[in-house]
Structure 1
């Protein structure tokens, strides 16, 4: 008597449907984070909203599908659900940005601001996919309700695992958001056809071809090369963020998740375009000797390039995103050399593993809505302190407001740095209370320098740049009694950033202009 072998196994159509629904729903969930991040950031509140909406939509789909499974469950009905899902994905590809922006006017607290967009954009297709599992359980060849439902849950979960890993490790690093949407849309169309073959009637064939054409057309028309900020030169999804290089006149700007990060004058590449990058030179007035510098965070590499070109120093850069490094090499004239070394690793990991001693460590890895908490804590500040020379300096480029509710992150970070270093200085980069770059400088020297002493050093020392205007932004220590000390076991960075959601981020340009990002 012949026994069945595992290699002889062929999945049934309901099993295929459940597996693909798991792949697609989890893939769309991860993709949602990338699509809403430019508008609402990628904080824990955004991700919590995404997860909650997907679970709610799936649950409602399960409930409705369960009610109608006995009377409506069929391969043909599941095919219709996949086609409707693909059709909505086509809408997302073509009009996702419009849908996203249309929800920003809802009068919600900042931490809930992304909810309407997530519900509108991803609720309907996820709800439709929720019908698949109860329909598949009804059509299952397994004996008994328990065995059928357990089998469906297992196959659907395996599909979700595949969708999670494939989207995270394969699709997002390699493809644009629109193309990834196209992949899931065509996968849904292909599954719809597979569920009814070989008995595909004329209406089913026409619907499948029509949805596929709409998907391809939407994906083809999505990237027009124009953004409100200027001409899009390059755009990609990295493993960490959305990356755009945008030209406006002679200024080339690097945007990460929709926020301006670095800028370069194409005709004068080493000129400081953003005012805050001039502050990188301030530590040269606070110490007598700088031989080796570490930048944590590269972006457009404005600071590292200037230090390597202007001073007789060795510059190391720890940039976690290799595609940021690639973009800097291709579009921002980054060239490694004997005194400029780029390491594609996280800043904290680099500090743990390096055996070099630094005279200056510049932390330039913070954004308005996305801050790696592991670079904010007392433990990190102590690690940096251990890697600094006896007269070494820590420089942190924060994005926050100097006063008011939106200043919580700045004041908490100041308190944390102040716990480790004898002297801490603050330099806001604009004369407003808007969200802006605030430069915090910490020294191991017990003696505190006054604004007048710094101005005198600026006049006396030749460091190749006049910093008198920057020194004039010298501020007294802020009030920190009402903000937390950030520790590895408790660093509520997302809560501290929350008051900045929806506020303008003002980046001063050296010509007196300002780049404003919402």
Structure 2
């Protein structure tokens, strides 16, 4: 008779299905972890290395402990409880992930290690539980022989991991929000757990599955019915470029991109500047003699373009790469339908390369704290922008960085890069000296730099719609650029320059509720003139 040793049944058993689903969930959560932690810590190689390391460590520990217990504890009911426990933790992440992330960010670690506590707290426990599934599945599999059983189970788990990796990357992330992707993984886990218990469920495992199912539904429905720790969720989606949310808090509507505040609108006064740094978009009006054509690279909530259309007799073009951002701005941020405003669904560099237009002002507002498209930072891009500016033209770049210290590297490198393409560069920090903040870099084609006194005189003489006295007080004539590179197309180490900002508090000051000219600092107080004149020195 032919030996059947090592033969594996063609149809998957329940434990093998559990192994497959655990592989899908573990790799899917690993890919999703990048989206969850990047808004706080960036998406550098250190963040991704930490994610991979934590997942491998948690899985290995689960394999080890699960392997020791499998011979005596492996049952379908135990598998169901492990899957339900993992899904329960996923429900916690959906509901309170932001709070857990913020609390973990308080650990005083060097920047490159700052994401480790958050990754361990958010993803260590569920990954550890998933590590039990494979050794339990190997113990329960119908394959003959230890080698055949373990090999078959780990092959099934690997196939599940491949499905989780490709499915999350190419289908789930482009189509769903982070919360809904978490729900998909949680639901797959509880459905598998329920199937493991069918048709004769024991009371305690069945109760665990039922409770976790309710937790998942409640965690996802809470924002859907208007609850969020940040306010009422008006709209949310996952675009190919980022996670996008529109959230109302009182009279303020805020656009969140990848979990960070990007734009805000006063619902009663849609063109009022809510964020202090957007007032600096008007400073170039004190430098250029005549501004008729303006380009914004990056749309967001269209704060600047809306105000410029209302305030000035100028044509305003906007180049925005994400079509969903354009649609959301039109639907939720009251972008006016007017011949003065033209919107182009293109990347900023691509648009400038293809257009034959020239501009009096280009506002570069496409940087995030943790994600900066390097192609918009280099000396080649700055030279391209210079070529698309009229002789009296001005470039204003909204840079997120610190004024000094290790977290100032990106600001100082961008300053140094802009100096290679423009005769004059001005810097306007918007918050306290030590904080990560918006720093407005203004570059002009003039041979001489205007003094603070000359800017104040022009502020009094010209009607630009705002009193910019406070903004002028923050003028810095120079920056210390030793020790940072000029960014070039063939070498723009933006990730390493952003790395020191990981985990640091990002301060965005807000204006008062009334007139734009009345500023209210919600973090450190505004810089005064005597504190703003000196150079930003790296510490």
Normalising by the smaller structure, the TM-score range is 0.7 to 0.9
Q: Name the CA distance, whole Å, in 2 between partners of 1:401 and 1:98.
A: 25
Other structure's SS at 1:362 match: strand
Mark the CA change 1:192 to 1:407 in structure 2 (over 3 Å): closer, same or farther. same
Q: Comparing 368-377 with 192-201, which one deviates more in the overlay? A: 192-201
Give the match for residue 49 of structure 2. Answer: 48
8 Å CA contact 2:223, 2:232 repeated in 1: no
Give the match for residue 81 of structure 1. Answer: 82
Give the match for residue 443 of structure 1. Answer: 444
8 Å CA contact 1:313, 1:339 repeated in 2: yes
Q: Name the CA distance, whole Å, in 2 between partners of 1:337 and 1:296.
A: 19
Q: Name the CA distance, whole Å, in 1 between partners of 2:415 and 2:312.
A: 29
Mark the CA change 1:143 to 1:174 in structure 2 (over 3 Å): closer, same or farther. same
**1:409 Cα deviation after fit:** 1.8
Q: Name the CA distance, whole Å, in 1 between partners of 2:11 and 2:388.
A: 59
Among 500, 505, 508, the residue aligned to 2:507? 505
User: What are the equivalent positions in structure 2 for 1:355-370 lying under 5 Å apart?
Assistant: 355-370=356-371
Mark the CA change 1:203 to 1:402 in structure 2 (over 3 Å): closer, same or farther. closer
**1:479 Cα deviation after fit:** 0.9
Q: Comparing 360-369 with 508-517, which one deviates more in the overlay? A: 508-517
Mark the CA change 1:210 to 1:264 in structure 2 (over 3 Å): closer, same or farther. closer
Q: Comparing 382-391 with 17-26, which one deviates more in the overlay? A: 382-391
Superposed CA deviations along residues 193-225 of structure 1, whole A, max 9, x for unmatched, are 334544545554444333323332343346674
User: What are the equivalent positions in structure 2 for 1:360-509 lying under 5 Å apart?
Assistant: 360-430=361-431, 432-500=433-501, 501-509=503-511
Q: Name the CA distance, whole Å, in 2 between partners of 1:383 and 1:228.
A: 43
Mark the CA change 1:379 to 1:53 in structure 2 (over 3 Å): closer, same or farther. farther
Superposed CA deviations along residues 162-198 of structure 1, whole A, max 9, x for unmatched, are 3234334444455444433222122112112334544
Q: Name the CA distance, whole Å, in 2 between partners of 1:446 and 1:155.
A: 68
Q: Name the CA distance, whole Å, in 1 between partners of 2:21 and 2:117.
A: 27
Other structure's SS at 2:372 match: coil
Q: Comparing 413-422 with 131-140, which one deviates more in the overlay? A: 131-140
8 Å CA contact 1:41, 1:257 repeated in 2: no
Give the match for residue 220 of structure 1. Answer: 221
**1:68 Cα deviation after fit:** 4.7
Give the match for residue 529 of structure 2. Answer: none
Q: Name the CA distance, whole Å, in 1 between partners of 2:523 and 2:510.
A: 9
Other structure's SS at 2:299 match: coil
Other structure's SS at 2:294 match: strand
8 Å CA contact 1:89, 1:181 repeated in 2: yes
Q: Name the CA distance, whole Å, in 1 between partners of 2:350 and 2:182.
A: 34
8 Å CA contact 1:400, 1:436 repeated in 2: yes
User: What are the equivalent positions in structure 2 for 1:38-437 lying under 5 Å apart?
Assistant: 38-69=39-70, 75-137=76-138, 151-195=152-196, 197-198=198-199, 200-221=201-222, 225=226, 231-430=232-431, 432-437=433-438
**1:491 Cα deviation after fit:** 3.1
What's the RMSD between the two structures over aligned residues? 3.3
Other structure's SS at 1:505 match: coil
Other structure's SS at 1:366 match: coil
Q: Name the CA distance, whole Å, in 2 between partners of 1:292 and 1:158.
A: 55
8 Å CA contact 1:23, 1:159 repeated in 2: yes
Superposed CA deviations along residues 351-371 of structure 1, whole A, max 9, x for unmatched, are 344443333221112233333
Give the match for residue 5 of structure 1. Answer: none
TM superposition score normalised by structure 1: 0.85
Mark the CA change 1:86 to 1:503 in structure 2 (over 3 Å): closer, same or farther. closer
Superposed CA deviations along residues 421-460 of structure 1, whole A, max 9, x for unmatched, are 2221112234755433211111233333333343444444
Q: Comparing 174-183 with 289-298, which one deviates more in the overlay? A: 174-183
Q: Name the CA distance, whole Å, in 1 between partners of 2:163 and 2:155.
A: 12
Mark the CA change 1:64 to 1:374 in structure 2 (over 3 Å): closer, same or farther. farther
Q: Name the CA distance, whole Å, in 1 between partners of 2:189 and 2:249.
A: 39
Q: Name the CA distance, whole Å, in 2 between partners of 1:361 and 1:165.
A: 39
8 Å CA contact 1:83, 1:188 repeated in 2: yes
- Count how many residue pairs are aligned between Structure 1 and Structure 2: 510
Q: Name the CA distance, whole Å, in 2 between partners of 1:34 and 1:183.
A: 16
The gaps in structure 2 that reach 5 residues or longer are 1-8, 525-539
Q: Name the CA distance, whole Å, in 1 between partners of 2:439 and 2:149.
A: 59
Superposed CA deviations along residues 6-56 of structure 1, whole A, max 9, x for unmatched, are xx9754445433321221112222333343345445444333322221121
**1:146 Cα deviation after fit:** 6.7
The gaps in structure 1 that reach 5 residues or longer are 1-7
Mark the CA change 1:413 to 1:131 in structure 2 (over 3 Å): closer, same or farther. same
Q: Name the CA distance, whole Å, in 1 between partners of 2:249 and 2:94.
A: 26
8 Å CA contact 1:434, 1:506 repeated in 2: no
Q: Name the CA distance, whole Å, in 1 between partners of 2:352 and 2:155.
A: 43
Give the match for residue 521 of structure 2. Answer: 514
TM superposition score normalised by structure 2: 0.82
Q: Comparing 267-276 with 75-84, which one deviates more in the overlay? A: 75-84
Mark the CA change 1:508 to 1:155 in structure 2 (over 3 Å): closer, same or farther. same
**1:128 Cα deviation after fit:** 1.9
Q: Name the CA distance, whole Å, in 2 between partners of 1:275 and 1:102.
A: 27
Q: Comparing 68-77 with 380-389, which one deviates more in the overlay? A: 68-77
**1:476 Cα deviation after fit:** 1.3
Q: Name the CA distance, whole Å, in 2 between partners of 1:454 and 1:489.
A: 37
8 Å CA contact 1:424, 1:441 repeated in 2: yes
**1:466 Cα deviation after fit:** 4.1
Other structure's SS at 2:440 match: strand
Q: Name the CA distance, whole Å, in 1 between partners of 2:121 and 2:431.
A: 38
Mark the CA change 1:499 to 1:472 in structure 2 (over 3 Å): closer, same or farther. same
Mark the CA change 1:410 to 1:271 in structure 2 (over 3 Å): closer, same or farther. same
Other structure's SS at 2:519 match: coil
Q: Name the CA distance, whole Å, in 1 between partners of 2:55 and 2:164.
A: 14
Q: Name the CA distance, whole Å, in 2 between partners of 1:431 and 1:20.
A: 49
